[in-house]
Amino acid sequence: MIPVFNNILVAIDGSAASERAIVRAVDEAKVWNAKLAAVYVVETGLFSSLPSDNTVEIMYSVLEKEGNAVLERARKYAADKGVTLIGHMKQGHAGSEVIAVAGQEKCDLIIVGSHGKSNADRLLIGSVSTYIVAHSGVTTMVVRS
């Protein structure tokens, strides 16, 4: 079998949809014997209108801590299934950062959950999965919840 996908990127945020995305990404990595990377993005746009002070730094710190925990759970899950996962922590616009990491890792498949942590996020910042599908030149799989 000739591999269709050699490098897979999964976008994760700790939501139920992203948990399903990581399961699917690990399955796809095993099928294609592909390299697997995951990216967690701290959305800096959420804080752009706040004054830059200790409160913002504390919020970033909390979100980075959460991101590291989410990436570690993904690494452990992948390892338990016999797949090595490389994690990336980024800050910025989630959709843009996912596409950028896909380019850096030379990914030929991006896997993303259909929606993130809350519907309010979707109303405020738009759907990350929709952005990736619309702006990426890489095949994108949207895992439904």
110 in a structural domain: yes
1 in a structural domain: no
Look at residue 132 and tell me whether its pLDDT is greater than 50. Answer: yes
Whether the CB-CB separation of 144 and 127 falls below 8 Å is answered with no
* Structural domain span for residue 51: 7-143
* pLDDT in the model for residue 99: 98
114 in a structural domain: yes
2 in a structural domain: no
2-41 tens-digit pLDDT: 668 999 999 999 998 999 999 999 999 999 999 999 999 9
- Domain count of the fold of the chain: 1
Domain of 103: which CATH number? 3.40.50.620
Distance between CA atoms of residues 136 and 64, nearest Å: 25
State percent of the chain over pLDDT 90: 67
Question: Token pair for residue 85?
Answer: 């996962």
**Of 50, 68, 69, residue with least CA distance to 59:** 50
